Structure 1
Amino acid sequence: MEKIFTHEEQKQYYALALKKFQSGEYEGAEELLQLLRESFLQDQDFESYIKVNIYLIRILVNTQRYEEMFDYILETEPYVEEYAAKTEHLAFRLIKAIFQDVMGIQSPIAELSVLLEEAIEINDIRHIFRAANNLLHSYNEEKKIEEGYALIERITPYLELVDKNDPIGPMMFYINSFDIYYARKDFENIEKNLIKLEKDSIYKTVPSLEFPYWSIKGLFILHHGEIEKAKYYFEKAYSMIKDKFYFVNYIERWVHAMKEHGEVEQAFAYQSLLVEALQEHIAMEKKVRRSEIISKFSTSGVVERLHHDRLSGAKSRAYFEEQLEKNREMIHYSVAVFDVDKFKIINDTYGHLVGDQAIKFIASIAMKWMPKSDMKLIRYGGDEFIIFMPYPKEEIEEEVSRLRQLIGTADFIVRGTGEVINFEVSIGVGYTDETPATLLQLFETADRALYYAKQNGRNQVRFREAIH
C-alpha cells in the first residue's frame, strides 16, 4: 500500500497544523490534521495518532461543534488506554469532562479539579491552564465566585512560565478571570487584565477569541460612563460571532449594565438581541436534541459507531482487529485485500483531498458490487481495503475479477477540473476449503497474494490457498 506521507512530510505538516491551530486558523489546521491521522494510523504510530485526534477535538471545542466530539472520543479512547503518555491521558480526560459539561450530562468540577492537581504535580503548564480555564468557566456557570477567585490567585503565578508561542491558554485565563472579577465588581483587576491582553496585542493572536476582549473592554468603559464608546465596542464584539447563543452571558451583562446607567432604550435593544439569540438556539435544538447526544453514551449504537469508517462508509480497522482477536477457524472462507495501483501519484498530482474523494468513490463501487449480504468491506487504511467473504474460492472467483473490472471502467471525475481518471487495482485473495484457517492466516495469505500481483504487473487478481 502506498504511504500517505513520508516521516519527513509528517513532521513538516504536523508543525504547520500546530502553527495554524495556535493562530486560530482552525479550518486549515483541521484539513491537515485529518490527513495526518490517516497517515499515522497507516504507520501504526498510535502515539502521534492520539495527539492528532486530541487537537481535532480541541478544534471542535473551540468552534463549538460539540455534537461532533462524540465520534472522535469513541474512536480515540481505546488507543489512549493502551498507548498514551501521561500528558495525552490528561488531555483526553479533560476533553471528556468538557464534553459531558457542554452536553449537560454532569458537572465537570470534580474531574477538572483532579486533573488540575495532576497537571500541577508534573508541572505540565499547558494542562494546568486548560484545566484551570475550564474550571473557572464552570465556577462562573455555577455561581461559585469565591472558589473561582481563589483559583485565579493560585494559578496567576504560572503565567510567568507559559510558552509565548502558545497564547491561547493565558488569553483564555484572562477572559475567564474577567467573569469572576465582574461578578465581584472588581474593576481594578479587570483593568489589569485588559492591560495584559493589550500588551503585544495578545487579544489579536487568536481571531476566533477576540470577541470577548471587545465585550470586556466595553463593559469596563461603560463602568466609567462612556456610553457611546461602550456601545461601539459591544457592536464590534457582537459582529464577530456566528452562533449568538454562546454570547448570551455577555448580552445579559450589557442589559443590566445599561439599566444601571439609565440607558433604558439601549437596554431594551440588547434585550431584543438576547431573545433573538435564544430563539435561534431553540430552533437549532429542534434539529439536534440533547437527548440524542446523551443517548450515545448508552451501549446501544456504540459498537456500531466504533466499527464504522467515516471517510469511506465501510467497516473500520477497529472492526477488523476485533474479528482477528476472536481467533476463530474458518472453512469454505475467503479474504480479499486490494488497493489502488500507484495511488501516491493521485495524491501528489491532485492533492490529498482529491485522494480522499477517490477513496470514497472506490469504496462506493465495492459496496454496490458485493453480491452477498454477508460479505463485509473493511477499510484497513489509506487506499487499502479488505473483504471478508464466507464462501469458497469457486463461488467468488468470478465475482472478485468483476470487482476489479468495475473499478477499472468507472469514471472518476476530478472535482474542479472535470478531468476523468480510471483506476487500476490489484487484488490478492487468501482462501481455504476443507482445511480450517483463522482470519489472520487468510489475511496474511491474501496480503502475500496482493504482493505477488504487484510484482507481476499490477491490475490483476491473484489467489493463494491458506496453509494451516
Structure 2
Amino acid sequence: MISIVPETFSQKADELVLQGNYEGALPLFLELSVYYKASEDYANYVAMKARIILCYFNLERIPFVADHVADIEPYESYLTDGDRHRYFMAQATLFHYWHDPEQCIAMYEKCFEASLKLSLDRILTTASNFASVLNYNKRFDEAIEMLQRVEPYLAQVDLSIPQQRYSYVDISLEFACYYAGRQQFDKVAHYLAPLIKHNYAYDGSTHEHSFERYYAELLFSQGKTDEAFVYVKRFMKRLKTQLDAYQFAGTFELWAKNAASLGRFEEAYEYTKMHNEMLKKQLVHTITENAGKHAAELKTKEFQHLAFEDPLTSLHNRRLLPKLEKDFVNQPQHITVAVLDIDRFKQINDTYGHAVGDELIIAVANRIKELMTHPLHTCIRFGGDEFIIVMRRPLDQAQSWIERLHSDLYHNVIDIEDITIAVQSSIGVASGTHTMLSDLTKQADAHLYAAKESGRNCIFGF
C-alpha cells in the first residue's frame, strides 16, 4: 500500500509518461490503482487502469492489457471521456490481436463515437485508424463511409499543428486511394490538390510513397504521361526496398501495361520483371502464411477463450453476454437468468480486507461451478461479487437448481486462512422464451434488488 501522498506518485508517473519512460511509470500506476480501489475511489481507480493500459500498449505487451480492461468493466461509469476513448481503443486493439474483426470493428465504432467529445486530433486519428482497419478487412465501402463522416472536420484543421496536419494528409490520401481504384480521377484531383499546393505530402515516407502512386495515376489520366512516369520511377524505387512490396504486384502490372500502350517498351519490360519478382515473393508469403495457418487458428482459439474468461475466478466474464444474446436470437428457446449477489460483501471487505474479499469471491465461484455446471448452463462473473447464471431451460426446471445453489451457500461456511465466513446470498430470477437475454438480465437484476429490499438471503422471481 502507498505510504506517501498519492498525488505525488501520480505526478511522478505522469512525468515519466511524458518522457516516454513507460517502464518506470507502470509500477507507480499499478500501486496507485491498488490504493484507489482500497479507498473505494473508483474514479481515480479507473483513471489509473487506463494509464496502465497505455503503458502496456506502448511497451508492446498486448496480452497484459486484457486483465486491466476486465478490471475497468464494473466501474465503466466512472471513466472520463478521454479514458473511455482509451478504454474502447484498448478493446478494439485486443480484438484485432485476437483476430476477431467483427468485435474489433464494433468496438472501433464506440471508440469513434467517444472521440467526438474530444479534441479534433483524437477525432481525426481515430477515424483514420478505423478506416485502416476496415480497409485491412477488405470492407472498402465502409471505410469510405467512415471517412465521409469525418470529412466535415477537415475544414477545422490547423495545418500548423503537426498531428492535425498528419491526420489531414492521411485522410486525404485514403480518399485518393479509394477513388483512384474506381477511376474517379476528378475526385482524386480534389483530394490531392491541397497536398500539392502546400507540399503536405512529404511529412513522412509513407505519405510520400502513397502520394506519388496516386498522383502518377492522376497525371496519366490527364494525358501528362512523361510527368506521370517521373513519379512512377520515384515510388517504384521505394517499393523495391519495402519488405511488403509483394502487396503491390498489381501496381507494377498496371504500369507495365501503361508503358507498353505508349511504346515505352524498356520501361514496360522493367516493370514486368518487377511484377514477376513480386508475384514470386507473394507466392512465398502465401505458402509461409498457409504453413502456419493451423498454428495461428489454434492460437486464435486460445486468445478468444481468454477474451471471455474472468481472470480472478476462471468463470466466463460479462463480455460473453452479447455473444450469447446473438446465439439466442438466432435460435429462440426457453431461457432462465439468475443474478446472484453476496450479501453484505462490502462489510466483509471492510472487516477482513480486499485479499480475503477476493478469496471469498473465488470460493463462491467454485461452488457455482461445482453445483451449476451443465451443458445447458453458462456461469458468468458479472463484476465485483455479482454472478449471472444463464440456463437454457424453463423456469420450472431451473427453480430446483437455483434453490439448491442458494441453500448450499447458506448452509456451508467458507474458511479463508483462519477466518470462517457464513455466506448469505440474494438471487433475482427472470425467465422467458422470445425475450432478449439483455431484457431478462435487467428483469433478474431488478428482482435481485427486490430480494435485497425484502431482507436479503432470499430468492425473488419465482
TM-score by length of 2: 0.50
Aligned to 1:270: 275
- Contact in 2 for aligned 1:50/1:80 (Cα 8 Å): no
Aligned to 2:302: 296
Displacement after TM superposition at 1:41 (Å): 1.4
Displacement after TM superposition at 1:266 (Å): 0.9
Residue 305 of structure 2 aligns to a residue in which SS? coil
Displacement after TM superposition at 1:95 (Å): 4.2
Aligned to 1:125: 120
Q: What amino acid maps onto 1:256 in structure 2?
A: L
- Contact in 2 for aligned 1:218/1:233 (Cα 8 Å): no
Map 1:218-367 to 2 at 5 A: 218-220=216-218, 223=221, 224-225=224-225, 226-239=228-241, 241-242=242-243, 244=244, 248-262=246-260, 263=268, 265-277=270-282, 279-280=284-285, 282-283=287-288, 286=291, 289-299=295-305, 324-327=357-360
Q: What amino acid maps onto 1:87 in structure 2?
A: G
CA distance in 2, matches of 1:209, 1:81: 41
CA distance in 1, matches of 2:148, 2:18: 34
Higher helix share: 2
- Contact in 1 for aligned 2:179/2:185 (Cα 8 Å): yes
Aligned to 2:72: 79
- Contact in 1 for aligned 2:213/2:231 (Cα 8 Å): no
Q: 1:16 aligns with which of 9, 19, 22?
A: 19
Q: What amino acid maps onto 1:39 in structure 2?
A: L
- Contact in 1 for aligned 2:10/2:29 (Cα 8 Å): no
- By relative contact order (CA 8 Å, sep 6+), the higher-ranking structure is 1
Aligned to 1:51: 51
Instruction: Choose 110-119 or 180-189, whichever is displaced more.
Output: 110-119
Q: 1:69 aligns with which of 62, 66, 73?
A: 62
Q: CA-to-partner distance for each residue in 1:305-357, whole Å, 9 max, x for gaps?
A: 889xxxxxxxxxxxx9777512499xxxxxxxxxxxxxxxxxxxxxxxxxxxx
CA distance in 2, matches of 1:126, 1:54: 17
Q: CA-to-partner distance for each residue in 1:286-312, whole Å, 9 max, x for gaps?
A: 4684313421344369869889xxxxx
From the superposition, tell whether residues 38 and 306 of structure 1 become closer, same or farther in structure 2 (CA, over 3 Å): farther
Displacement after TM superposition at 1:178 (Å): 2.6
Q: What amino acid maps onto 1:37 in structure 2?
A: L
Residue 166 of structure 1 aligns to a residue in which SS? helix
Tell whether 2:112 aligns with 1:116. yes
Instruction: Choose 94-103 or 264-273, whichever is displaced more.
Output: 94-103
Residue 101 of structure 2 aligns to a residue in which SS? coil
- Contact in 2 for aligned 1:248/1:277 (Cα 8 Å): yes
- Contact in 1 for aligned 2:147/2:175 (Cα 8 Å): yes
From the superposition, tell whether residues 34 and 145 of structure 1 become closer, same or farther in structure 2 (CA, over 3 Å): same
From the superposition, tell whether residues 214 and 104 of structure 1 become closer, same or farther in structure 2 (CA, over 3 Å): farther
Q: CA-to-partner distance for each residue in 1:155-195, whole Å, 9 max, x for gaps?
A: 22212334624244333322322321222223344344445
From the superposition, tell whether residues 235 and 72 of structure 1 become closer, same or farther in structure 2 (CA, over 3 Å): farther
Instruction: Choose 166-175 or 295-304, whichever is displaced more.
Output: 295-304
Q: 1:105 aligns with which of 100, 103, 118?
A: 100
From the superposition, tell whether residues 328 and 49 of structure 1 become closer, same or farther in structure 2 (CA, over 3 Å): closer
CA distance in 1, matches of 2:108, 2:417: 56
- Contact in 1 for aligned 2:176/2:214 (Cα 8 Å): yes
From the superposition, tell whether residues 259 and 76 of structure 1 become closer, same or farther in structure 2 (CA, over 3 Å): same
Residue 87 of structure 2 aligns to a residue in which SS? helix
Aligned to 2:163: 166
RMSD: 4.7
- Contact in 1 for aligned 2:23/2:55 (Cα 8 Å): no
TM-score by length of 1: 0.50
CA distance in 2, matches of 1:328, 1:109: 33
CA distance in 2, matches of 1:144, 1:81: 33
Tell whether 2:151 aligns with 1:156. yes
- Contact in 2 for aligned 1:178/1:193 (Cα 8 Å): yes
Tell whether 2:429 aligns with 1:436. no
Percent sequence identity over aligned pairs: 12
- Contact in 1 for aligned 2:201/2:207 (Cα 8 Å): yes
- Contact in 2 for aligned 1:103/1:290 (Cα 8 Å): no
| Runs (5+) with no aligned partner, structure 1 | 18-31, 61-67, 308-319, 330-433, 439-468
Displacement after TM superposition at 1:12 (Å): 3.0
Residue 183 of structure 2 aligns to a residue in which SS? coil
CA distance in 1, matches of 2:97, 2:361: 43
CA distance in 2, matches of 1:190, 1:50: 40
CA distance in 2, matches of 1:279, 1:136: 28
- Contact in 1 for aligned 2:57/2:65 (Cα 8 Å): yes
From the superposition, tell whether residues 233 and 287 of structure 1 become closer, same or farther in structure 2 (CA, over 3 Å): same
Tell whether 2:172 aligns with 1:181. no
From the superposition, tell whether residues 156 and 181 of structure 1 become closer, same or farther in structure 2 (CA, over 3 Å): same
CA distance in 2, matches of 1:131, 1:147: 15
When the two structures are aligned, how many residues end up with a matched partner? 300
- Contact in 2 for aligned 1:116/1:131 (Cα 8 Å): yes
From the superposition, tell whether residues 198 and 103 of structure 1 become closer, same or farther in structure 2 (CA, over 3 Å): farther
CA distance in 2, matches of 1:15, 1:78: 25
- Contact in 1 for aligned 2:179/2:188 (Cα 8 Å): yes
- Contact in 2 for aligned 1:47/1:84 (Cα 8 Å): yes
From the superposition, tell whether residues 131 and 284 of structure 1 become closer, same or farther in structure 2 (CA, over 3 Å): same
From the superposition, tell whether residues 119 and 328 of structure 1 become closer, same or farther in structure 2 (CA, over 3 Å): closer
Q: CA-to-partner distance for each residue in 1:73-101, whole Å, 9 max, x for gaps?
A: 34434236535323333333244335535
Displacement after TM superposition at 1:13 (Å): 2.9
